[in-house]
Amino acid sequence: MPEEYNQKACPIEKTMHVIGGKWTFIILRELFYGPRRFGELQRSLKGISCPCV
Q: Residue 37's pLDDT is what?
A: 93
Note the pLDDT tens digit of each residue in 1-53.
555 556 567 887 887 778 877 788 888 888 898 999 999 988 888 877 665 54
- Which sequence spans correspond to the domains of the chain? 10-44
Rounded Cα distance between 18 and 12, Å, is 10
CA dihedral 31, 25, 23, 15 (to 10 degrees): -120
